[in-house]
Structure 1
């Protein structure tokens, strides 16, 4: 019976792959202005293969599926399956759900099943979309998966995808997207390659910086909302070091202290003459993340000197706490202020009852899409839904991970 169902599912996926080509063509060439380079590496690769692209925006799977003759089963965050209609569409297309930041045997078996059908598997080996246009370190287990599957590997490098639809933005800003394809592992060599050689090839190929690319490409970005919601990624003011004090509108991002930047028609940040400024957006992101971690450390140490062993390290008001099982719709369960302490996360207004999550019992911490802070607790996925599109969920991820590193260093984790 399982074999019959698999055959039926494979036929449905092939049909979806064919039917979707026309609407995808309209999206690719009219809305997103996509150009493909070195398609020969796809059409000269026999049998199923593994597709390992860099991850620039939520349209990446559609941008890539359009050019592959075989259906590609994309591994996607289980958060993408929480909408019932989208879930049905994705499952019909062969998508495979995975919980972020966790190894998953169910996902691995689904990948192997798709390959056994003669289809391809697609995985974003960085594990998440970039916040600043630069590619991220690869998930360590990627090379082991390649060696385990023993099929050819094709790496598409997407250039301009971040500038077209940054992770922090809601709308598409028409720019230009280039997809450069490269077969990095052939079927004839996969069985003999050492793990270190596989790691080297993947690491050296999956490298991209959209701002460095834009320096030479100089493709104008359409629209007058080039900075809107930029504070979701860049949540700390370089001038006053305030957290959550920046607010975007149109092409500008400004702080309550008076500091502001302008995003020009190519997506570059124009800083005030008196500064502070950064060589690249990635440098701003790295500075703020380190600064927030240091601020948490100083807050803990200063509070203990003052006799307070339980300071609030981060807070946001009017948060909706949501909960769901794997790949099921999120349901609101509580509302109130979210507060991070050195040993727990609380949701609830002060003086009232609160939901309490011990940090040591939390796992799979990540930011879903633009601003949804998520974590796993007692086998359920939880989400902090922000009160507006201008409140960063990413800062909660940065704060949690910085606090965890500090506690590990001090032997308290």
Structure 2
């Protein structure tokens, strides 16, 4: 609490008290100065100086808050010796002084210029007597090296360009916005910050539970993370600009994109942090999404330390099936970096990574406190496990009710389902897993005795390229035990189930089917896209592996020992 008051007092001094004092006292120091023919150049020079000083001071504060995790008047947690802090040794004080000097020149005020000189001397004495000894005690030789190679008064102008090139202003502002928003909405707590490497190449690996995962992890990091993102995010100019601000790198989904791997390698060779989500997509039911070993082979091939991160409460904060976020508590947990070379093979390395990034699955669900607690949950809870009815569940004020058999479930604030008859509690992922098991056993509507027959209305598109979709019109999508067929007034497209390479739900929650005719995208209307993906997987005979918490006891013991 004392630190917060100190920060607020310093902010008030810089924003209110010092400007008020300088403006009020300037007339008493103002001598009579006759008019000169250089009024216009003087005003232009003064304006340029004021803008430069304001920019440098603002930039210094933003970089200090992001990379140093500190504010003016508060000791930073990490030494900031890059970006704007290569421009001049104390850029915030330098910029503030230059700003007032520019204002004085622009107004032609000798008194204000004299006050600016006094202010600059005061800042210099403060830095020499207070700030530099404090930084020297905290960071030692590292700060001494930074002080020796950074100018005190005359700046290195080329550092301004490299500063913005490394971290654009929009990135800093958006990071600060997301950090503040996450504190308000989700009361985010950060654990294991001491494990974050502040320099050198590192692969950041995290579970993927909601839309803001990369922004959350990135905003609590101390340097930019180059996250690998689906190329679907780069189709629209606005989203392309937005994700470019966050240093995202596009990758073709569900394919071996050599260009993106080379870009990852280039970033790591430059000493940057690269982030990936092994699951490849947000999960629907709060459980881990298991993928093949290719991701873990890639991590081993990169040959750099791997920083594992898990988000606890991320699913409850904003489930994929919900249009709006909820209000709950979240925890961003950083684990100690691991070296892929320390593990015997890919399987051992995979177990070590999954034990960390899926650590959230061992903790109880986090209750939501506000907004629509379960509106949209029937997207993933698409059937009744009591009677086998598909798309028969209706959302009520308290939970769900089956229109076929009358079974009812209450949905708790932690998104658990409680059977109103028996009192049995189930997590979403447990309920969804049971739905899939009943479906594969042939006990769900539309798949009785494993004879598949479902249909729905849909709008179809052909994916021609990363940036282009060709509309195929509105029609009917039909799934049988042998084929998937789309019929419209204009055309008919049929794919044998054995010829389908893979299916997935994209960012817009549209069903994407990759087969002999290329990639087709279906916007499911009046039905659940999750249900269609589950039915297609069951009809094709494919199954998702279930994650088992291998080695979690060791990870928990290690965390307790470190605490």
**TM-score normalised by structure 1 residue count:** 0.82
Matching residue of 2:293: 140
| Correspondence 1:247 to 2:394 | yes
Structure 1 residues 61, 171: closer, same or farther in 2, change over 3 A?
same
Residues in 1 aligned to 2:163 and 2:497: alpha-carbon distance in whole angstroms? 42
Work out whether residues 327 and 371 of structure 2, in 8 Å CA contact, stay in contact via their aligned partners in 1: no
Q: CA deviation at 1:31?
A: 2.4
With a CA cutoff of 8 Å and minimum separation of 6, indicate the structure with the bigger relative contact order.
1
Q: Which residue of 2 aligns with 1:315?
A: 455
Q: Distance in 1 between matches of 2:442 and 2:233?
A: 33
**CA distance 1:10–1:375, change in 2 (3 Å):** farther
Cα 1:296–1:269 change in 2 (3 A) is closer
Listed as ranges, the gaps of 5+ residues in structure 2 are: 1-160, 544-563
C-alpha displacement at 1:36, in angstroms? Answer: 0.7
Q: Is the 8 A contact 1:262 1:269 kept in 2?
A: yes
User: What corresponds to 2:418 in structure 1?
Assistant: 270
- State the distance in 2 between where 1:381 and 1:316 align: 19
Which range moved further: 286-295 or 101-110?
A: 101-110
Q: What is the distance in 1 between the residues matched to 2:162 and 2:463?
A: 27
1:290 is matched with: 437
1:39 matched residue in structure 2: 193
Would the aligned equivalents of 2:442 and 2:449 in 1 still touch at CA under 8 Å? no
Change (3 A) 1:82 1:181: same
Q: Note if contact 1:227-1:253 (Cα within 8 Å) is conserved in structure 2.
A: no
Task: Please tell me the root mean square deviation across aligned C-alpha atoms, in Å.
Answer: 3.1
Q: Is the 8 A contact 1:51 1:155 kept in 2?
A: yes
Give 1:94 deviation, angstroms.
2.5
Bigger-Rg structure (1/2): 2
The answer (yes or no) to whether the contact 1:365–1:397 under 8 Å persists in 2 is: yes
1:62-109 per-position Cα deviation (integer Å, ceiling 9, x unaligned): 110102222112122233333331023213433223344333323312
Classify the secondary structure of the residue corresponding to 1:20.
helix
Shift in Å at residue 33 of structure 1?
Answer: 2.2
Distance 1:406 1:50, change over 3 A: closer
1:26 aligns with 2:180: yes
Answer yes or no: is the 8 Å Cα contact 1:72–1:119 preserved in 2: yes
Q: Which whole-Å CA distance do the structure 2 matches of 1:279 and 1:237 have between them?
A: 13
**Residues 109-188 of structure 1 aligned to structure 2 (within 5 Å):** 109-186=262-339
TM-score (norm 2): 0.61
**Residues 133 and 209 in structure 1, CA contact (< 8 A), matched pair in contact too:** no
Structure 1 segment 296-311 matched on structure 2, within 5 A: none
- 3-state SS of paired residue (1:337): strand
Contact 1:227–1:262 (8 Å) recurs in 2: no
Question: Structure 1 residues 332 and 12 mapped into 2: Cα distance closer, same or farther (>3 Å)?
Answer: farther
Deviations 1:314-353 (A, max 9, x none): 2112x1012223432544322111101233211126x985
Within the candidate set 526, 529, 534, 1:398 is matched to 534
